[in-house]
Amino acid sequence: MPHLQRRSFFLGSISLPLAAFCRIASSAERSGRFIGDIKTQWGKDGRLMLLLEPIGYIDPDGVEWAVPKGFATDGASIPQFLWSLIGGPFEGPYRAAAVIHDLYCVTKSHPYEQVHRTFYNASITAGESPRKAWVMYQGVLRFGPSWSWPRPQQRDPACDRLQTVGDSMCAVNSSELAKGYAKNPTNQEIKGFFDELRSQGYGAEIEALQQK
């Protein structure tokens, strides 16, 4: 996939005790669920992945996250340095989570912290291991898109509800994808990110990922 220019704001890391993290992971596994199966195909340009059927996700808090048929995604809401460690955004069990994350980083219809948390929850629901999902979540939380909140209403709230997910009014133009691009961090920022995860007890996971 060709290199894409990323833009975002640098965010401080958020640490969480391991016991609290395990409770969150358990809650996500219990409660999150997808509506529909993800079906995609590559666009003619070979860069964008097109969603052939609408999908939805209900997070552990019961919030609905709907993605309409025809949404074109390039996975750019996930920092590219993570791709080489965990696979591209269209690989592995977290593919559906990446599509949902891409859309809501474009529409910005929820606070960015909630959008990134949903990526984490949906990754676990899709079958990703909680510890790997935590590493990905920390990456998007720090280097993913961010925006001020509350924002002026720019989209019909019905577009986030599963019963209207197929409506044409909910379509997102692929030219808007740049609004959801993640930051392209420096080597120093990446090193600091990994060092903080090691300090939280993720040293073995980081070493295994870096050896891929």
Mean pLDDT throughout 39-47? Answer: 80
Q: What is the mean pLDDT of the chain?
A: 77
Answer with the residue of higher pLDDT: 131 or 162. Answer: 131
Helical H runs in 52-182? Answer: 80-86, 95-107, 112-125, 130-143
Q: How far apart are CA 27 and CA 25, in angstroms?
A: 5
pLDDT at 26: 47
Percent of the chain residues topping a pLDDT of 70: 75
pLDDT at 10: 25
Indicate if the pLDDT at residue 129 is higher than 60.
yes
Answer with the residue of higher pLDDT: 160 or 6. Answer: 160
Neighbours of 184 (CB within 10 A): 16
Per-residue confidence band for 57, with pLDDT thresholds at 50, 70 and 90? very high
Q: How far apart are CA 39 and CA 26, in angstroms?
A: 27
- What are the φ/ψ torsions at residue 72 (nearest 5 degrees)? -105, 125
Mean pLDDT throughout 78-98? Answer: 78
Per-residue confidence band for 132, with pLDDT thresholds at 50, 70 and 90? confident
Per-residue confidence band for 124, with pLDDT thresholds at 50, 70 and 90? very high
Q: How far apart are CA 126 and CA 107, in angstroms?
A: 23
Count of residues in the chain: 212
Neighbours of 191 (CB within 10 A): 11
CA 33 to chain centre: 16
Torsion of CA 86, 160, 38, 106, to 10 degrees: -50
Q: How far apart are CA 30 and CA 41, in angstroms?
A: 30
Indicate if the pLDDT at residue 6 is higher than 70.
no
Answer with the residue of higher pLDDT: 65 or 74. Answer: 65
